[in-house]
Structure 1
Amino acid sequence: MDDLFAFGKSILAAQPFSQLIGAELTLFEPERAEISVLVRDDLKQQHGFVHGGVVSYLADNCLTYAGGSVLGDSVTSEYKINYVRPAIGEKLVAKAMVISSGKTQAVCDCKVFAIKDDNEVLVAVAQGTISKANKTS
């Protein structure tokens, strides 16, 4: 389990955009992943909420981590996100899990929470299909 988590952290460290926004892998185990980002002013939009692109990034990457935990090297084939309320807080946490998986793809869901004063508030839900990476294309 520790080897999987260490591997996951090395993958995140190799993603320049993840480093730019300060993403941190906090959980990576078979069928589950969690990624968090501390909220900064430069991640917000004009109304003071965390920008939807940051929320979407968290969902997308966390979905792929969950799927990759059962498939190995993976990429997102598709995903859909619903923003359910503004992302306001000190930190955002995405929590993803595998719903179903086969040899080459996994369907996963993700919930993104804003943390404020130690309370979690749901800000987005997402579902996606994660595919085993095809290194020949």
Structure 2
Amino acid sequence: MSELDLDLARRTLDAQPFSRLLGARVTRFGGGSAVLEVDVRDELLQQNGFLHGGVLAYAADNALTFAAGTTLGAAVLTGGFSIQYVRPGAGRTLVARAEVVHTGRRQATVRCDLVMVRDDGEEVLCAVAQGTVLPAAAPPSV
């Protein structure tokens, strides 16, 4: 396994076409945590002008998985997660901060706070998520 570091995390995220479409970036990675950011733009809003819940769920999913990857290794998959929206996403940047709560041999449990950074720099919590991440099985040989 190659050494896990921020550069590898950024290359891994960049290898995901959907992440490139959203303009997501990993800004912190290591020691059981990861931070993923997405700048808000019109294409990511819902009809009332708030960040679409699907973008929040995407950010939670990836932040949870990247954080778990720091403890389980690079090849991981989301086993499942739940998200609770606490207020509409309004601001200039979405920041998803994930921390590993527990890592065992077969899975990691991770939680994530999703905040919106407003124009004045204030951070407002808009959702919380928790999930499990599993080591990925080796792809079948042909």
What range describes the TM-score normalised by the shorter chain of this pair? over 0.9
Determine the C-alpha separation between the residues in 1 that align with 2:98 and 2:66.
8
Q: Which residue of 2 aligns with 1:81?
A: 83
Residue segments in structure 1 that go unaligned for 5+ positions in a row? none
Residue segments in structure 2 that go unaligned for 5+ positions in a row? none
Q: Give 1:1-137 correspondences, 5 Å limit.
A: 4-72=5-73, 73-116=75-118, 117-136=120-139
Secondary structure of residue in 1 paired with 2:5:
helix
Shift of 1:102: 1.1
Determine the C-alpha separation between the residues in 1 that align with 2:116 and 2:139.
39
Q: Which amino acid aligns with 1:5?
A: L
**CA RMSD, Structure 1 to Structure 2 (Å):** 1.2
Q: TM-score, normalised by structure 1?
A: 0.96
Shift of 1:3: 5.5
Determine the C-alpha separation between the residues in 1 that align with 2:128 and 2:4.
29
Q: Which amino acid aligns with 1:34?
A: V
Determine the C-alpha separation between the residues in 1 that align with 2:78 and 2:115.
21
Determine the C-alpha separation between the residues in 1 that align with 2:59 and 2:136.
20
Secondary structure of residue in 1 paired with 2:88:
coil
Shift of 1:39: 0.2
What is the count of residue pairs matched by the alignment?
Answer: 136
Runs of 4+ in 1 over 4 A off after TM superposition: none
Q: Deviations over 1:49-87 (max 9, x none)?
A: 000000000000000001111111100000000000000
Shift of 1:104: 2.2
Determine the C-alpha separation between the residues in 2 that align with 1:52 and 1:16.
19
Percentage identity across aligned positions? 46
